[in-house]
A and B are shown apart, each in its own frame.
Chain A
Amino acid sequence: MQIIKNNTVVNDDWSVLRLQEGDAAETLVVPVGKTLVPLKVWLAQKTVLLHRADIGVWFASDERVEDLQDDVVKFSVIAVDFPKIGDGRGYTIAYRLRNRAGYRGELRAVGDVLRDQLFYMQRAGFDAFAVRADKDIHEALKSLKDFSITYQASTDEAQPLFRRVQRGA
């Protein structure tokens, strides 16, 4: 499938593993190949999964960055799930991963990821977007340029506008 990564549409072969009803985090078999596993599965099977280089982890919107804290350096991809557009917890999860936990790898938005949310997501710390499959990903790419100026600091800009530029012109 295709995702947006670093402002370009690219092919991608990571798959997102979701727990189905009746699955237990401890016993679920993690398939071979590049897999983003639920945080719960990572925490339950860490001793085994530690040895695989093709494992990433994803956060549900009600999960906490603190639960992963020391492990963030082990991953090259971390994802955050947006169960619906209006659930904005993922933005703070991204902010905390970047600014508190010091995560520098790929941070991917998955789930209900739509064009008009990408600009904020990018600012909060995401650099990869698995745009919902029924939407045109090339169209969605345009929204990353919706604004050329922002007032406040976030992950993308350490300084608020009033420290970035000479204001009042």
Chain B
Amino acid sequence: MYRYDQFDHQITAERVAQFRDQVRRRLSGELAEDEFRILRLQNGLYMQIHAYMMRIAVPYGMLSADQMRMFAHIARKYDRGYGHFTTRQNIQFNWLKLQDAPDILADLATVEMHANQTSGNCIRNTTSDEFAGVARDEIIDPRPYAEILRQWSTFHPEFGFLPRKFKFSITGATTDRAAIAVNDVGLQAVKNGQGEVGFRVLVGGGLGRTPFIGTEIASFIPWQHILTYAESIVRVYNEYGRRDNLYKARIKILVNAIGIDEFRRQVEEDWKFTKDGPCTVNQAELDRVAACFTAPAYEKLADVALPSDNKAFSNWVARNVKPRKVAGYASVVLSLKNAGIAPGDATEAQMDAVADLADKYSFGELRITHMQNLVLADVKQADLFALWEAAKASGLATPNIGLLTDIICCPGGDYCTLANARSITLAKAIDERFDDLDYLHDIGDIDLNISGCINACGHHHVGHIGILGVDKSGEEWYQITIGGNKGSPANIGKVIGRSFSFAQIPEVISRLLQVYVAKRDEGERFIDTLRRVGPDPFKEFVYATPVPEEAKLQMPDYELLAQGTPYDTPLYSPRF
């Protein structure tokens, strides 16, 4: 993985010092909250319902065992013993004090990490394929380019105050596991007729209130020109993106308003001044960065037959182990989707355990997936059984990767000030309703996504089943979409009809699954059946008879929810 040189260390240290001084000025009252807000956001610090939340960058989802141990340390020392892995392959800590934030950044810097630009209207963390470097369908390893983009976008002086946040995603494989079509800019590696590497560039994808699939702005930008081309895209957006309406400020609205041809014309008009200029990436820089992403020291091994007499192990292998291009090795997905636990949450003990597993079995490296799970990418097949037993002991071996209970979920109304409805609590209710493992394996691959509001952090638009929290006169309701898909090809789901109460949702999901089971052909996944028969049979069955509320699911006490947990520390939370 990428290792900092003296310049990366220097820039990171100077950033910590800068933020330390900004926090000092906030605490002394020199900076008002409305002046400080924009500064803390660019350091990943939010004010949530109960406390400050910090989102720490995990560039393109890769981290070392020592970096994971640092997360455990932060959870122990500054938080309540756990953290939350996000759909953008980052981690969030939810119970922090403002006073501690500079120390947390300083601790992170010791392991070459930061929280730069993980929030705010700037260029965010670039996401990528969680199987980058090991995927069988890979054309090139996208990580060196993702790192080059990270450095270019870090503290870019022109793009610190864009109309809205700006997200890049990059993939080097033929199957899109990085959801590039729903990012502001999506980059897909391609080779031209001469075998030269370049990128197909999509622009204007995104979810939120107005979901769009990205449109192709260029079919082939040679890799050397990727920074100058990206810079022209962001420059045109900075000038012309709407700033009068928060909900119309993303680049997708601009591209849609003026049309892709006009947008492309403006980008190319600007690009002609910088193309072939000094910001052209040279071979030396690509080589320097790429040298950090060489393959680990694989042993020469043959594929091995795995024990087949243990059903629980076999279930886990079937769902959580992925074949790799190197013989004798496999990739393992450690599930962070366990009944009763918020999707993506891990305790400090689990973080330490995972770090040890990475050291012992996978060359000391880990990846975070956009599905909010963890990956050990290079495990010897011969070690799988021992790894499974160790993972099981830490509660990380739930055999549900890609299944219904592998839910993508935002923090929702339990934590987030933006949410209309609870997400985590709903995920738990769904988990409890569908706890029969054989049934889940029979249903097979399905993406269930929950967002607590229209900002769509749970990516509900691209779930095969999407759940969106909506507000109806102060009460939480949920709207259901079906037919979304996150990539290859990406699709936006369609709303099935009027919304449901919290306690109705498990039954609604059950009905959707019943239609699938009745209509499916041999080997068809939920999404395949849905595409073949269309949404109508699903809609009709869901609304055919009144949907009962699940008795044990109580409506929340809204007053209590709004109060949060009181603290007497000044500036600890917006509510106190």
Contact = CB atoms under 8 A, between A and B. Distances in A.
B273 A91 contact: no
Interface string A147-169: 11111111000111111010111
B146 to A, nearest CB: 14
B238 interface: yes
A46 to B, nearest CB: 24
A152 B35 contact: no
Interface in A88-106: 88-89, 91-92, 95, 99-100
B278 A91 contact: no
A116 B31 CA distance: 10
Contacts of B22: 116
Contacts of B278: 153, 158-160, 163
Contact of A151 (B151, B284, B288): B151
Contact of B157 (A85, A119, A149, A169): A119
Nearest to B148: A162
Contacts of B18: 143, 146-147
A13 B492 CA distance: 58
Contacts of A149: 7, 10-11, 14
Interface residues of B, number: 38
Contact of B38 (A86, A158, A162): A86
Given A151-B151, A160-B279, A163-B282, A124 B158 contact: yes
A5 interface: no
Contacts of B154: 151
A100 B273 contact: yes
Nearest to A158: B278
A161 B6 CA distance: 12
A147 B155 contact: yes
Q: Is the interface of B mostly helix, strand, loop or mixed?
A: helix
Contacts of A95: 158, 235
B39 A167 contact: no
A139 to B, nearest CB: 8
A92 B239 contact: yes
Given A151-B11, A153-B279, A167-B7, A161 B161 contact: no
B14 A88 contact: no
A151 B161 contact: no
Nearest to B281: A162
Nearest to B15: A147
A149 B235 CA distance: 22
B77 interface: no
A147 B21 CA distance: 13
A4 interface: no
B243 interface: yes
B160 A91 contact: yes
B316 interface: no
Contacts of A153: 278-279
Contacts, number: 107
Contact of A162 (B15, B17, B243, B284): B284
A162 B283 CA distance: 11
Contacts of B15: 147
A14 interface: no
A69 to B, nearest CB: 14
A12 interface: no
A88 B162 contact: yes
Contact of A165 (B7, B155, B273, B281): B7
Contacts of B284: 162
Given A116-B22, A159-B278, A124 B157 contact: yes
Contacts of B156: 152, 154
Interface in B141-184: 151-152, 154-162
A114 interface: yes
B315 interface: no
Contacts of B557: none
A38 B238 CA distance: 22
A165 B38 CA distance: 32
A158 B7 CA distance: 18
Interface in B248-271: none
A86 B161 contact: yes
Contact of A91 (B17, B155, B157, B243): B157
Interface in B437-471: none
Contacts of B152: 151-152, 160
B5 interface: yes
Contacts of B227: 152, 160
Which 3 residue pairs are nearest across A and B when measured between Cβ atoms?
Answer: A88-B161, A123-B157, A120-B157
5 contacts: A88-B161, A116-B35, A120-B157, A151-B152, A152-B227
Interface of A: 64, 85-89, 91-92, 95, 99-100, 114, 116-117, 119-124, 143, 146-154, 158-163, 165, 167-169
